[in-house]
Chains A and B, each alone.
Chain A
Amino acid sequence: KAGVTQTPRYLIKTRGQQVTLSCSPISGHRSVSWYQQTPGQGLQFLFEYFSETQRNKGNFPGRFSGRQFSNSRSEMNVSTLELGDSALYLCASSFRTSGGADTQYFGPGTRLTVL
């Protein structure tokens, strides 16, 4: 089974621009979660999408948004980029059973640099 894939792997943007990152989950997985990893703040949860609906959201400003398509692929968008948005953005997928006994599997990440 193919793993979680993320595109692009690297991005360089300038302040004020917007960016869209893509994540394709493992086949059969219906939940996609996004995390931001920075040296200062560590790994922080951004949001989770399941069945095309945002289920949970972390403590990030409204500039961070996402969506999920019917094939479970997800995109996240960051508008009006700031220097502090430079980070590794990780996507994770899981099946999301009703009992909650799921494990999240991560993609390789997208390295975003904001200049």
Chain B
Amino acid sequence: AQSVTQLDSQVPVFEEAPVELRCNYSSSVSVYLFWYVQYPNQGLQLLLKYLSGSTLVKGINGFEAEFNKSQTSFHLRKPSVHISDTAEYFCAVSRIQGAQKLVFGQGTRLTINP
């Protein structure tokens, strides 16, 4: 089975400051990794995904994430945040072989203060 741990339930940051949202996963098989964002009263939107290749993945809205296999981590970063980045962020994994579902972490609420 797979599990995902997002270490921070809430992260407050000032506008234009850098931010890192942490994600660790556990799996006995190889997995793909995803970050989704959910704005208030909205569905989920894919920010970025790691499938293979370069461990540094760039996504939409200036976000990037780095896959670290030895530490089983997939932390999300942005060098300078905006008010519009205020949202809930979910890290998720799916099995490479025979995957039928995403396993989500508990989410991190990112709040940007002016």
A, B bound: no
Give A residues with C-beta under 8 Å from B. Answer: none
